[in-house]
Structure 1
Amino acid sequence: MFINEHASGEEHEHAEMVDATEDAEHHEVAKERLKRKEFEIFIGGLDKDAVEDDLRKIFSQVGKVTLVKLLMNPQTKKNKGFAFLRLATVE
């Protein structure tokens, strides 16, 4: 961060407070992303005809499924053979 040599001590303190606030906010966002990733799993080797409901049905036996990201091929309208699935808890 660039500080003007002629900046008053008060301005310098304010700049440091802003930096500390931004760092804290960034840390919280990063922490939340990591927390969500704890509950997310990669699923590969899927049949090209598998659909989101198939994954929800199968993985609901393990825990509450909160999100399914089944990646699709726009040309064939079939899945690409893999997905990301998020569960409500790590257990």
Structure 2
Amino acid sequence: MSLKPDIVKKKKIYTSKLSDRRLAGGKRPEVYLHSSKSTGRHLQQTENWNPKHFRLFVGNLGPEATDEMLQGAFSRYQSVSKVNVPVDPKTKKNRGYGFVAFASSEDYLKAFKEMNGKYVGQRPVQLKRAESKVKGK
């Protein structure tokens, strides 16, 4: 009996936003949309986030990272409204990324500038603007 790994479909798309092109040095930046069986559960967790709030994607989290650890790392910003580190339901381990929502655009921008590359746990985090995969959000 052969075991097949869980297959993740990748779809290569290009963004058309002018600001994203400027950030990429004039080139069309590539974006990969990943889909798997567990994506639905993650979307359910983020659906109840306030769509007016500003969200950061926090990448490169270590296996020890939790919601509480991420909350503590961003606690100096008063407008943090919600923090989430998704956990794989099968392995009960985090997926290596998280999200932080801010009510204030000023705190969002300040956190992005100050926290990008800072250590949360044992790894330096990589921050990006979080975009919802759900249409209309």
Residue 65, structure 1, aligned to residue 90, structure 2: no
Residue 47, structure 1, aligned to residue 62, structure 2: yes
> Distance in 2 between the 1:55 and 1:64 partners?
14
Structure with greater Cα Rg: 1
Which residue of 1 is the match for residue 104 of structure 2?
A: 89
Question: Could you tell me how far 1:56 is from its partner in structure 2?
Answer: 0.6
Q: Percent identity?
A: 35
> Distance in 2 between the 1:90 and 1:54 partners?
22
CA RMSD of aligned residues (A): 1.7
Which blocks of at least 5 consecutive residues in structure 2 are unaligned?
1-49, 107-137
Q: TM-score, normalised by structure 1?
A: 0.55
Greater relative CO, 1 or 2 (CA 8 Å, sep 6+)? 1
> Distance in 1 between the 2:98 and 2:74 partners?
12
> Distance in 2 between the 1:54 and 1:42 partners?
15
Question: Could you tell me how far 1:85 is from its partner in structure 2?
Answer: 0.9
Which residue of 1 is the match for residue 94 of structure 2?
A: 79
Amino acid at match of 2:57: F
Contact 2:65 2:85 (C-alpha < 8 Å) held by counterparts:
no
Name the SS for the 2:57 alignment partner: strand
Q: TM-score, normalised by structure 2?
A: 0.38
Question: Could you tell me how far 1:63 is from its partner in structure 2?
Answer: 3.4
Please list every run of at least 4 consecutive aligned residues from structure 1 whose deviation after the TM superposition is greater than 2 angstroms. none
